[in-house]
Amino acid sequence: MRRKMLLNTIILPFVLMGCAQSQNNEDSGTSGDAAVSVTDFADRTVTFDHVPERIVALSNGDVDIVYALGGEVVGRPNSKGPIAVKEAEHAEEVGSTHSVDIEKITALQPDVVLGGHPMNLKDVPAIEGTGAKVILTGANSVDDIKKQVGLLGEVLGKEDKSKEIIADIDRKVEEIQSGQSERKPRVLLVYGAPGTNMAALPNSLSGNLLEMAGGENIASDYPGLDSYPQYAQLNTERIIESNPEIILLMSHGNPEEVKDSFMNEMKKNAGWKDLDAVKNDRFVILPSDLFGTNPGTRVKESLAFLQKIFKEMK
């Protein structure tokens, strides 16, 4: 009897531990591989029963963040020139947030497709029809990029790494803002494509970067366009009245062509030649990988680029 009681005393704790572990697994809905539920930028709840391994990203920003977190993609956005993230060079091109190639995505059999909000909200049913989950992100500010990093850190099980990246971005922002002078240069920031030029507003990523780097956006009170609320129609009279000291030009490609198109439009007004930016030839074509698209974790470089331009005005 004493021997039996002794065995029960030894075995019982292990039985209880096993029961507790089994209960924990049942509570999490997994057996050893924890499930995760996240809320994306469209307020959609997306649940994964394991960490996604095959990832397709429709924007360069998401590609950059995935690699910064230690992951990789099997599908990436189309690129006419050098790709934004060299490590993703061998990934399959699958279109972009503007034009999703469902056939190529289907062939890749991804676990998750990272799209843009609200651009790709309409594409969710078609993408999910391939068997993939969809996460929608966006980047109209530095805070949005930090939110992207945190979201993808959750999805990939890299929360600690995502916190490091966010802290690094915060340090860069603090460094740049602590070194600013009270005088802010007057800036016009133009997004251009051949035949189309728009002024970037503060609620766009580039507009947010402009202000964080210490510039004054002369178009800050322009009314946003219905189809592109982060941008406004150029108003030559108001531009001349504000007299920008710097004109920044950004585009996805053909920057010189965009500059010529913009200049031809502005020269129609006689007062154009008297602007400080024109008299001092302060036109800057911004790098497309830092401004023509979401730069992801390289947003620190975007801020540093603008800071250097503005400091040269002092």
pLDDT (tens digit per residue) in 225-254: 998 899 999 998 999 999 999 999 998 777
* DSSP state letter for 90: T
- Structure confidence at residue 33 (pLDDT): 59
State the Cα–Cα distance between residues 145 and 130, nearest whole angstrom. 28
**Angle formed by the axes of helices 60-68 and 142-155, nearest 10°:** 60
**Angle formed by the axes of helices 205-212 and 299-311, nearest 10°:** 50
Nearest residue to 224 (alpha-carbon basis) of 213, 235, 216, 233: 233
Specify the CATH superfamily of domain 36-175. Answer: Nitrogenase molybdenum iron protein domain (3.40.50.1980)
- Highest mean pLDDT among 20-29, 72-81, 164-173 belongs to 164-173
* DSSP state letter for 273: G
- List the domain boundaries for the chain: 36-175, 181-311
- Do 245 and 309 touch, CB atoms closer than 8 A? no
**Residue 302 identity:** S
**Residue 73 identity:** V
Q: How many residues does the chain have?
A: 314
Band of residue 30 on the pLDDT scale cut at 50, 70, 90: very low
- Structure confidence at residue 247 (pLDDT): 95
pTM of the model as a whole: 0.86
Domains 36-175 and 181-311 agree in fold = yes
Say which CATH class 181-311 falls into: alpha beta
Paired with 39 in beta bridges are 45
State the Cα–Cα distance between residues 117 and 183, nearest whole angstrom. 36
- Structure confidence at residue 314 (pLDDT): 64
Mean pLDDT along residues 30-55: 87
State the Cα–Cα distance between residues 147 and 10, nearest whole angstrom. 50
